[in-house]
Structure 1
Amino acid sequence: MRALFSDLLQISSPTVSKSTKDSMANDADDNFEILDLAEAGKNWLERALDGELSKKSVPVQLAMGGTSGWVAGYLFQKVSKAAATAVGGGFMLILVGHHTGYLKVNWKQFEKDINKTQQTAVKEVEKRYPAFQGAFNKGKDLVKKNVMISSGFAAGFLLGMAM
C-alpha cells in the first residue's frame, strides 16, 4: 500500500524528469490487455451451455436452468402485462373516442391497411424462412444437448409466469 502511494507521489511531484514520466506511461500501457469483444459476443449461449455448465452435476444444472427460467418468466409476465395494458388501453380510447364522436375512423381504409400489412408480413416470413429454420434447428440441437438445463429453464419459466 505504501509503495502505491509513493509511486503516486513520485508521478505527481514536479522533480520527476520527462523521460521518467514517459517510461512510466509506457509501462502503464503495457499492463492493459486488449479484448476482442466481437469474438466474445459470438455464440455466447452455446459456449456457456457447451462449456462449463453442461459439465456440472445434475442438481447444479437444474438449479441454474430453473433460476434463469424463473427470472425470464417473471420478467416476461411483467412486460407482457404492461404491453397488453398499453395496447388495450389505446384501443379502448380510440373506440370510446369514436363512439362519442370525438374521432372519426375510416374503417374501410383501416381494413385495407391491415390486409396490406398482413400480405407484406407473409412475404417477409416466406423470404426469411430458411434463416429462421436454421436458427430453430440450432436451438433444438442446443436443447437436446442440455436436457437438464432446458427442463429446469422450462419449469422455472412456468413458475415465473405464475407469480
Structure 2
Amino acid sequence: MGKETKPTQQEIAMGALAGICSGYLFKKVSKYAAATAVVGYLAVQGASQAGYIKINWKKVNDQIEDLKEAQYIKELTDKLADLTDEISEIITDEDTLLLENEGRLKATARRAYEAFKQNAATSGSFTAGFTLGILFA
C-alpha cells in the first residue's frame, strides 16, 4: 500500500462544496421529475376516462405477471450465484481477498469501498455537503 497522506483543508472544502452543489441539483431535478410523472399519470388517466385512450388491462396484467415471474427467476439465480460464491476458492490479492466468481458488481463495490477508505475525509465531506444540499434546497 502507498503512503497515507493527511487530507488538506482544501480537499475537504472542495468535497463539501461539490456535495452541496450535487445535493441541491439532485433535489431540484427530482422535484421536476416527480411533478412530470404525476402530471403524465393524471393526463393518461384523464384521457382514458374521456374515451381518448383505451387501456388493455388484460395485457397490462399479463405483463405484470411476466415481470413477477422474471423477478422470481432472477432471485433464484442470485441465490444460486451466492452459493457458488461461497463455494468458490479464495484468491489472495495484494490488498484484498477476491472470490473467484465474485462478479462485476461486487468487485466494483469493493473497489469503491477501498477508494472511499483512502479518501475518507474528502468522501465524508462530500456526503455531509450532499446531505446539506438536499436539506436546504
Indicate the TM-score class for this superposition, using the shorter chain for normalisation: 0.5 to 0.7
Deviation at 1:133, TM superposition (A): 1.3
Greater relative contact order, per chain length (Cα 8 Å cut-off, separation 6+):
2
Higher CA-based Rg? 1
1:133-156, CA deviations, whole angstroms, 9 ceiling, x for partnerless residues? Answer: 111111111111111111101111
> Which residues of 2 match residues 57-96 of structure 1 at below 5 A?
57=8, 59-96=9-46
Shift in Å at residue 68 of structure 1? 0.8
1-side partners of 2:37 and 2:65: how far apart?
20
C-alpha separation between the residues in 1 aligned to 2:48 and 2:121? 53
2:114 aligned with 1:141? yes
| Aligned residue-pair number | 109
Alpha-carbon separation, structure 2, partners of 1:112 and 1:148: 50
Aligned-pair identity in percent equals 31
| Cross-structure match for 2:105 | 132
Q: TM-score, normalised by structure 2?
A: 0.65
- The structure whose residues are more often strand, as a share, is 2
Give the aligned CA root-mean-square deviation in angstroms.
Answer: 2.9
Q: CA deviation at 1:100?
A: 2.6
Whole-Å separation in 1 of the counterparts to 2:36 and 2:67: 21
Q: Which residue of 2 aligns with 1:99?
A: 49
**Partner SS state of residue 53, structure 2:** coil
- Structure 1, unaligned stretches of length 5 or more? 1-49
The amino acid that maps onto 1:108 is K
Q: 1:67 to 1:80 in 2, by over 3 A?
A: same
Q: CA deviation at 1:85?
A: 1.7
Structure 2: how far apart are the matches of 1:145 and 1:115?
45
Q: Deviations over 1:38-81 (max 9, x none)?
A: xxxxxxxxxxxx9xxx6542x22321111111111112112212
Other-structure match for 1:161: 134
Classify the secondary structure of the residue corresponding to 1:105. Answer: coil
Output the amino acid matched with 1:137. R
User: Could you tell me which amino acid in structure 1 is paired with residue 54 of structure 2?
Assistant: K
Q: State the AA in 2 paired with 1:144.
A: K
Matched residues in 2 for 1:114 and 1:161: separation?
Answer: 34
TM-score, normalised to structure 1, is: 0.56
Give 1 or 2: higher helix fraction: 1
Matched residue, 2:66: 116
